[in-house]
Amino acid sequence: MTKQTSRLHFLDAIRAFAIMMMLQGHFVHALLGDAYRDKSNFVYSTWEYFRGMTAPTFFTITGFIFTFLLLKQSATGLDNPRVLKGVKRAVKVIFWGYLLRLSLYAVFNGTVNPSFFYVDVLQCIGTSMLLLTGVYLILSRTNKTWFQNTVLGLGIIIFILQPLYDACILEFLPQTVANYFTNHNGSVFTLFPWFGYVCFGSFMATLFLKYGEHKAFYPYSIITLLFTGGLLVWYSSSILMVLHDVTNITIFKSVAYNNFLFIRLGNVCILFAVFILFKNYLTHKTIIRIGGKTLSIYIIHFFVLYGSWFGLGLNRFFYHDLTPVETIIGALLFVTFICVLVLYYYTYEEKIKLQLTLLLSVTRKKIKMALPEVFIWIKWVFRWYKNLRFLKR
């Protein structure tokens, strides 16, 4: 196995881990009974802490993989084939983000449900990919160091300025646009601060591409990630307070008092280090396939858990209603069912598509054959109704 292949497996393994963490996290959060949501309970508080790592991991790995594939190409700028592929992928992700929130009940009543316009994880990821592409195109005529420093700088600035934009409502913008920048209207994920994690993931990818072929790269990367992660988790608040004392800039103090962004970035660094450490054992084809089908898994889980278009998901029937034992068993079954369903579909994709095509073809023919009889029946009913009205007169 080459280093290149091993590295890609390590990325897919992290993505597989993140999607499975998301599945169980959404299930538990939606269905566990209120009586058991005790933050003083060690088990629940531990679960909640690790659940908080899921979104930062997802956004970081998105920036990592997107940049890794983008910069690996010899062509630059618009000639880079990954630019168009990346834009198409981003648009697809944004499209599904809106489509999953559409209520057919509201559409049939001639309206659109307000939650349709909320920005969730898919819209945020898709838009972040477009922004990253824009940064790449702007800097494509310079060397890769410019891109590397720019994404690192953007990530730091976005995290540092969090207290400023977090309070913004942006009433002067159309609400559909404002939802990308503020959660005051109901958005779950907004571009800031989450694009910051994408930028940090992008920066990490540039380092992997630059030094990845060196023999000692992986041992050094593990040590560096563990050191950086530990520094961010346990000392970033103190560092921010020192910066405040030295510069007297209030924003450093504000970030230090609500320092979830840098701490979560530290968690992600430690997670990356663990996966790199065990990368040679994370090459099973099932892990790789799950990591490569995260969008499909997200879409299917949304239908099963939340009901999406119809509102008839598990959330409708068991919302905050399960005991811890029921929740644990249910979460395991839920994660297994979604992953198996998606992998089964892609294993027999061609056969399933062929069967569906044949089924639609047969159904279409039967409808065509039945149409004359249906029209005759409708015509008879209409005449009978007219005669009945005439007799009543």
- Which of the two residues, 346 and 125, has the higher pLDDT score? 125
| pLDDT on residue 31 | 96
Does residue 372 lie within any of the structural domains? no
pLDDT digits (tens, 9 = 90+) for 62-97: 999 999 999 998 888 899 999 999 999 999 999 999
Identify whether 74 is part of a domain: yes
Please report whether residue 377 resides in a domain.
Answer: no
Kindly state whether residue 374 falls inside one of the protein's structural domains. no
Question: How many domains does one find in the chain?
Answer: 1
User: What's residue 172's pLDDT?
Assistant: 86
Average pLDDT over residues 1-21: 73
The range of the structural domain enclosing residue 264 comes to 3-366
- Mean residue pLDDT of the chain comes to 88
- C-alpha distance from residue 214 to each of 31, 145, 336 (Å): 48, 18, 38
Distances (CA, A) of 191 to 1, 133, 159, 330: 38, 15, 12, 33
User: Which tens digit of pLDDT belongs to each residue from 232-252?
Assistant: 999 999 999 999 999 999 999
Residue 5 has pLDDT above 50, yes or no: no
* Cβ partners under 8 Å of residue 214, min gap 6: none
- Rounded to an integer, the average pLDDT of 35-52 is 92
Domain assignment present for 392: no
pLDDT of residue 3 exceeding 50:
no
Task: Tell me what pLDDT residue 366 has.
Answer: 66
Residue 175 lies in a domain: yes
Is there a domain that residue 230 lies in? yes
The model's pTM is 0.88
In angstroms, rounded to a whole number, what is the distance separating the alpha carbons of residues 58 and 274?
Answer: 16
Confidence of residue 106 (pLDDT cuts 50, 70, 90): confident
The rounded percent of the chain whose pLDDT value lies above 90 is 66
Asked whether residue 371 is assigned to any structural domain, the reply reads: no
